[in-house]
Structure formats: C-alpha cells, structure tokens
Amino acid sequence: MDTVPLRAADWPTRLTVRAGHLLGPLDPQEVRRAFAECPLVGSDPLLLEVGPGQALCLPRFGVPVFWNCDEPTVISLLTRLVDLPGGELRALEARDDLRVIVGSGEDRVSFSEVRLRALDPGNLALVSLALAQSVALEHFERSVSVALARYQPVVAQLREQGRVSLPHREVLRTVGFALEVRGAVLESLTLFDDPPQTWDSEALARLHAGLYDQFDLEERLKAIHLKLAHLQDTGHVFLELLTHRKSHGLEWIVIALIAFEIGWTLIKELILAH
C-alpha cells in the first residue's frame, strides 16, 4: 500500500490520544477500501489521517488508537470498523488517554504526557503502539486473573480435603477455559515485538524505550507470561488428578468384578455340593 506524507501543518500543538476498544481481526486491505477517502500515512501499523489534525491507528492486535478525535468522531469511526468483515467489537473495560505536546526541544516521555519535536508517521506509530499495548495488556491481565480465579475452588478443595470431588466435567470446563485464555493471550503477545520503525532510527529507538518504560510494558509482559505458565502447570496437575481418579475408579471396578466372579463361583460350588 502506497503512503503519503503526514499533513503536519493541520495538526495542533496539544492533542489527546485515546485507546479503549477491542476489535476482531481486520483485513488491512478491507480497512483501506472502507476508508479510501482517508490518506494512508503508515502501513505497519495501519495509520490513516481521518481528518485535518486527526488520525486513526490500527495495530494488528485489535486496539484502535484515535488521535485528536472527539467522542462523536470516535463513535463514527468505530461504527465503520465494526461493519467490516471480522470487525466484532469485544468487551474491553480498559481505557487510557495520553497527552501529546508537539514542538518540544526534544522527544521526551513523562507521566501521562509525551513531548515531541515534530509529528511524523514514525513517532505517531510508536506512541499509538505503546498506548494500544498498554490497554491490551490490561485486558489480558484481567482475562488471566479471571482464569486463575476459576481454579480457586478446585485448589481450595485440594488443599482442605486432599482430593478433588468436583464433577469431572466441571473440572474439565475450568481447565478448558484457562487453556483458551492462555492461547488467546499468547497469540496476541507474539505481536508485541519491537516495531520496525526503531530498526533504522536511533531517535525512534529512544522514544520507543521511553514509552516502554513509562507504561512498564516489559515487566507487565513478564508477569503475564509467569501467570500463563502457572495456568498451564495447574491445568496439567488437574488433568493428571482426573486421570488418576478415573484409573483408580476403574481399578475398584475391576476388583469388584473379580470379587463378584469369585463369590459367584463359590455359590455355584456350594449349590452343586448340596
């Protein structure tokens, strides 16, 4: 997809960047066709200038980022995105805003504020990605917490009674839900690699590092990976317990059948003896 220069002269020096929605997988070609009237200023991630001094960024993991867009504009853009194939709007409680000030002496990141020397597609993409990743991570953190909470009744019963007496199907549902969450999160986290904009620009690499530190993305990623590993390990333990319980039950069935066979043989011999 061919890109055009950002019309920097149309942009204010103070603006707000907003993220807080989660969409299903969108085909960039479909998005481009649906927004054919909007200049394309970046392709990875997809970056559209949707109005004078306004932009929409669409990272691949589905959290759109709105630059300098008021609420009616955000709703209008979301409506158009949701109408696209795969553009299902998913529940997402996480929200985040960021102030951006253009015209600073140097690119600098501080709490809830980013100062940029000038706006260009490279730094616009990096700021968008960092904000979208932070919001996506908060969503993933909540999903993993829900999965861990589903394990608690089974863990509590194992600790207090030394066994799992919950129905086999209920335990399997709990393990299945946790594994589903783990798979969905891992699939999205693979998209959190360093953006290509940082490969050839030292200034953009520094900005990216500052944004990562400000949003604490690296530590949060590590924490999620640890929780996902815990989910997997716990799921394996529960599955092994269920397998053992099932095999133990089969053993008792076999013993009961053998005892029945022996008893029936003795009864027949007693009958014959009389």
Same structural domain for residues 106 and 235? no
Report the pLDDT value the prediction gives residue 111, as an integer from 0 to 100: 79
152 shares a domain with 263: yes
Mean pLDDT, each 10-residue run in order, the chain (274 residues): 83 93 87 94 92 93 93 93 87 85 90 90 93 88 82 75 67 73 72 77 89 88 82 74 56 46 53 56
Final residue in a domain of this structure, among 89, 120, 151: 120
pLDDT in tens, 40-73: 999 888 999 999 999 999 988 889 999 999 999 9
pTM as predicted: 0.80
pLDDT value at residue 252: 45
Instruction: Classify residue 19 as exposed, middle or buried by CB count within 10 Å of its CB (0-12, 13-18, 19+).
Output: buried
- Domain with 17, as residue range(s), is 8-120
Residue 214 placed within a domain:
yes
Residue 194 carries which DSSP code? P
Which residues in the chain belong to E strands, given as ranges? 14-19, 22-23, 40-43, 46-51, 54-58, 65-67, 89-90, 96-102, 108-110, 113-116
Which of the listed residues 91, 120, 149 is the one where a domain comes to its end? 120
Domains held by the chain: number: 2
Distance CA 206, CA 203 (A): 5
Q: For residue 109, what pLDDT is reported?
A: 92
